[in-house]
Structure 1
Amino acid sequence: MDNLEEWWTTRSSKQDNELLLIPDLQMLWASDCPKLKFLPYPPRSLTWFIENSNHVLPEHGFGNLTSATYPLHLSIERAPNSPEMWRRAQHLSSIESLTLMSIAGLRALPEAIQCFTSLWRLSILGCGELETLPEWLGDYFTCLEEISIDTCPMLSSLPESIQRLTKLKKLVITNCPVLSEKCQGEDRHKIAHILEPIFLLADTVSRAIGP
């Protein structure tokens, strides 16, 4: 639906109050709608799947709309790395699970997502240009329990601050040979507190062994 540009989500009552046309949405999935904008605001949804459809992210928040639904899960896939996308994503600051997949040009996580302080799961998949994870990871994402990194071959180390993520129970690193080797070697101390570090390469599974 490349040419779909507008989708209105409210109507006015006799009292001129804005009412949601799509109240209490459980899942919003937008795929290959690069021009689509929700007007005047997007509907609130528990889960957001955004695939090559960056403009569906709220430009100015949710306005005066009231809803019992707050975003908890956000997945962004096949999108260019742009400041505008991350600025819009900040309006979903209540999310607890974030997946980034195939983000072109993403070399480092943007500071804009520091507002996701309730995050307990972070997944980064197929971001071939990702070179580093920021040191602020251990300062803002203190609720993290799970991290998954898959097919990010340029990523060669984890930040020292990962040691401050005391709730982190599971770390899964897949098809990242340099990172896997380093985590099981000279950087082993960084993940010593993690109960379940798993390293996957092709069809093999390696679990880190305690000191």
Structure 2
Amino acid sequence: MATLLHLDSAVFPQGSASRDVTAAFVAAWREQHPDGQVVYRDLAADPLPHLDASAISAGADDALRGELAAELANVDAVLIGAPMYNFTIPSTLKAWLDQVIIVGHNAVPGGPVTGTPVTVVASRGGSYAPGTPRADFEFVQNYLEKVLTGMLGAEVDFIVPELTLAHSKPEMAELIPLADASRTQAFADAKEKAKALASRLAA
């Protein structure tokens, strides 16, 4: 029985593209893998404390850090909703990363998270794709790919619904068709990737 760790970090509980797409991923996962378990953390509704000196010094012996590290080590896959705020990830998600990544414990070669598949739903209000004017402002995918693979050895994949502000910003009205196409593709990717991952883990 495979276990999925699902993290959401969007501030608003309703109308969030990242939350909508992660929910679709989980639904497809459960459909394909009804006996699987989903462990859920809403980092916006129940934020973790920032890392402090005592927690850094204690490492895995710190109660919270030890709990989070064990939770991560004991799942088969991870799903992260990571909307772009001010060109990077929400501070609540950064707090989880700071708490859960413990050098010498799980941030080691061949550590307990090595090879764990992580799917990130990296939603964003505009477009930061390669070749766009703001491509070099993209610090969500760039950062998460580096920290999750470079420190934990995880296997990272992205789903990117973009132009999510097109319907609410008059100056972006002409981009609505592209926004709708991106949203549709994100939901299709979520379902496809969830089913493929559940099948892979059940094999």
Common topology (TM > 0.5) = no
Structure ID, larger Rg: 1
- The one of the two structures with greater contact order (alpha-carbon pairs below 8 A, sep at least 6) is 2
- Higher strand proportion: 1
- When the two structures are superposed, what TM-score results if normalisation uses the length of structure 2? 0.32
- When the two structures are superposed, what TM-score results if normalisation uses the length of structure 1? 0.31
